[in-house]
Amino acid sequence: MVAEELHEEQFAKETLERYSGSPASDYQSNLILTNFPRYVDHFAKERGVAVHEGSMFKVAHSPEEEISILDFKIGSPAAALVIDLCSFLNIKSAILLGMCGGLRRRYQIGDYLVPVASIRAEGTSDFYFPSEVPALANFLMLKAVTDVLEAEKSNYHIGITYTTNLRFWEYNEKFIEELKASRAQAIELECATLFMASYKRKFTLGALLLVSDLPLNRDQIKTKKSSEFVFENFMPDHIEKGVAIIKQSRVMQSKKIKGAYHRNIDM
């Protein structure tokens, strides 16, 4: 018996269903991506919706707001995978709610950082484009992010992140010197990959990062205790900022403001 050929879209949707424990048809037209299962749990609890979990992802859907939130875990390979899979859904806009290490003395834990671009030091993005292609956040989503932050008078910075796959780098002096030389404003693990994959897939995506630690200062490296402090004090606002950004992006798309991919606007 010859097996029926599995086309790419069907394969992507079935993979997403296996990894998230949720039917592809349940995904809403707007998506919040995060690295933290606690974000999904909090979002679901506040809205009284169910949490679904598969072999890799954790997800919750709010049909009333037309928003899904998905925890794709940590690292650039997972970031690439989630964009490749979700690009086959009817999603109009997406925002990453992640955390980063701030690399400027004036930054404080709890500040927001809006990445306009990322240094592609993680390697995974090379599968999408040659190294000379810049990793940029989507312009419409950048505008939606800053509109919300300005309206709510939030403390935020705008800059470039350094995306790396290297962990436990805080004691690697050679890497620290290279990091400083890059003049990046923050360091994290996924933005360059997300920006490159979304550019390839024509997937309207931006990011709002929370400064969770100041790793160039040895006394402000993220620890178990400090991480808990960040979750307790800043997670709820971060999530609601993401929801507000999604709603603002929808308004902008309805007005045909430039920046989003046409395939996303016309869905």
Residue-level pLDDT at 3: 58
Residue 221 pLDDT class (50, 70, 90 cuts) = confident
Distance CA 175, CA 260 (A): 36
| DSSP-assigned beta bridge partners for residue 119 | 162
Interval 53-87: pLDDT, tens: 999 999 999 999 999 999 999 999 999 999 999 99
Residue-level pLDDT at 81: 98
Residue-level pLDDT at 129: 98
Instruction: Tell me the CA end-to-end span of the chain in Å, nearest whole number.
Output: 38
Distance CA 135, CA 76 (A): 13
Q: Which of 27-36, 115-124, 218-227 shows the lowest per-residue confidence on average (mean pLDDT)? A: 218-227
Percent of the chain with pLDDT over 90: 89
Mean of the per-residue pLDDT values for the chain? 95
Rounded to 5°, the CA angle 118-67-38 comes to 70
CB atoms within 10 A of CB 120: 25
Average pLDDT of 105-127? 97
Distance CA 22, CA 187 (A): 32
Residue-level pLDDT at 261: 79
> Domains in the chain and their CATH numbers?
1-254 (3.40.50.1580)
Q: What burial class does residue 191 get, using C-beta atoms within 10 Å of its C-beta: 0-12 exposed, 13-18 middle, 19+ buried? A: buried
The tokens describing 26, both together, are: 């349940």
Residue 264 pLDDT class (50, 70, 90 cuts) = low
Q: At what angle do helices 8-20 and 76-86 cross, to 10 degrees?
A: 120
Residue-level pLDDT at 190: 98
Average pLDDT of 189-207? 97
The tokens describing 7, both together, are: 């086309």
Residue 117 pLDDT class (50, 70, 90 cuts) = very high
Whether the per-residue pLDDT at 266 is higher than 60: the answer is: no
CB atoms within 10 A of CB 177: 10
